[in-house]
Chains A and B, each alone.
Chain A
Amino acid sequence: MFEAVFFYLFSLFAIVSGVGVVTMRNPIASALSLVICFFFLAADYALLGAHFVAVIQILVYAGAIMVLFIFVIMLLNLRHGDHLTFNDIGPRGVVGMATAGLFAIGLFTALGQLPETLPAPVGAEYGTIAMIGRALFEGPYLLPFETVSALLTVAVVGAVVLAKKEI
């Protein structure tokens, strides 16, 4: 009972701050709204039993990635964003909103056809670091895990090569 109440509360806040990301004028306000959205999504993950993913969400997303975003926004000193007012939203905005609406209709139609089934019972170990670690290092995900480490190295080297003035 309490789980359901908390889930709907956290999800409502996540959706409100997610809409804030898209509608805020100031990029900094957008970024902070996104951080709030990530925190509430982490709370949802914890309610769903994915404790490790919830912690990683706060550490990596709300911590590392959003600090990078805010750092870049402040570095570029973008005081005046694109002033999104609903008077000058333009044909492009109308087409964008219409496409998003069509996508929403498609998603919710598909969702309406799902059968309501009860979730599988899980033990106390579900979602812990031990369970994820065993799947990553002993299970079938060892090769993808190592590939991701190569991907991150390539991304770091690429970012330095792109952003540096002279190598």
Chain B
Amino acid sequence: MESVGLIPVLAVSAVLFVTGIAGVLTRKNALIVFMSVELMLNAVNLSFVAFARQFGTVDGMIYAVFVMAVAAAEAAVGLALVILLFRNRMTVKLDDLDIMKG
């Protein structure tokens, strides 16, 4: 994509990443926090693919595929934790989970 270049793609990636950060820091529902983390991972993937295109190498795409594999593993374990949490506490609101508070 010669007509766009690297910097607009990185700007889109940055906007998506910041949106994900805002979601992680402001939402209280554990599932939506999880989805915001997935959004951040995707923003980073977009950067990887953009840099791969910029340098004409395959490495960035390989890293994007690895990030997707790690995201799949994270989603499986994380959603199992959410189910366990809901079964024991009947809530997924993160504000109610202050058992570790000193």
Which residues of A approach B to under 8 Å, CB–CB? 1, 3-4, 7-8, 11, 14-15, 18-19, 21-22, 24, 27, 30-31, 34, 37-38, 41, 44-45, 47-50, 52-53, 56-57, 60-61, 64-65, 68-69, 72-73, 75-76, 78, 81-82, 84, 89, 92-93, 95-97, 99-101, 103-104, 107-108, 111, 114, 116-122, 126-127, 131-132, 135-136, 139, 141, 144, 148, 151-152, 154-156, 158-160, 162-163
Assuming A3-B3, A18-B16, A104-B18, what are 8 further A-B pairs, CB within 8 angstroms?
Answer: A1-B3, A8-B8, A30-B35, A44-B9, A50-B49, A56-B68, A132-B58, A162-B80
- A126 to B3 alpha-carbon distance, docked (Å): 17
Contact between chains at A50 and B7 (CB < 8 Å)? no
Contacts of B53 in A (CB 8 A): 48-50, 119, 122
Majority secondary structure of chain B interface residues (helix, strand, loop or mixed): helix
CB distance from A120 to the nearest CB of B (A): 3
Contact between chains at A57 and B68 (CB < 8 Å)? yes
The answer to whether A111 and B72 touch (CB under 8 A), given A52-B61, A76-B83, A96-B22, is no
Q: Looking at the complex, which one of A30, A56, A73, A82 makes contact with B65 (CB distance below 8 Å)?
A: A56
Which residues of B approach A to under 8 Å, CB–CB? 1-12, 14-29, 31-32, 34-36, 38-39, 42, 45-46, 49-50, 52-56, 58-59, 61-62, 64-66, 68-77, 79-84, 86, 92-93
CB distance from B40 to the nearest CB of A (A): 10
- A49 to B5 alpha-carbon distance, docked (Å): 13
Contact between chains at A100 and B80 (CB < 8 Å)? no
Q: Looking at the complex, which one of A48, A107, A114, A160 makes contact with B49 (CB distance below 8 Å)?
A: A48
Q: List 17 A-B contacts (CB under 8 A).
A: A22-B23, A37-B39, A44-B9, A47-B1, A50-B64, A61-B38, A68-B75, A72-B31, A78-B29, A82-B28, A96-B25, A96-B26, A119-B54, A120-B55, A132-B65, A158-B80, A162-B84
Most buried by B among A65, A117, A139: A65
Contact between chains at A159 and B61 (CB < 8 Å)? no
The answer to whether A41 and B72 touch (CB under 8 A), given A81-B29, A107-B14, A158-B80, is no
The answer to whether A73 and B39 touch (CB under 8 A), given A22-B19, A107-B17, A114-B7, is no
The answer to whether A127 and B14 touch (CB under 8 A), given A18-B39, A162-B84, is no
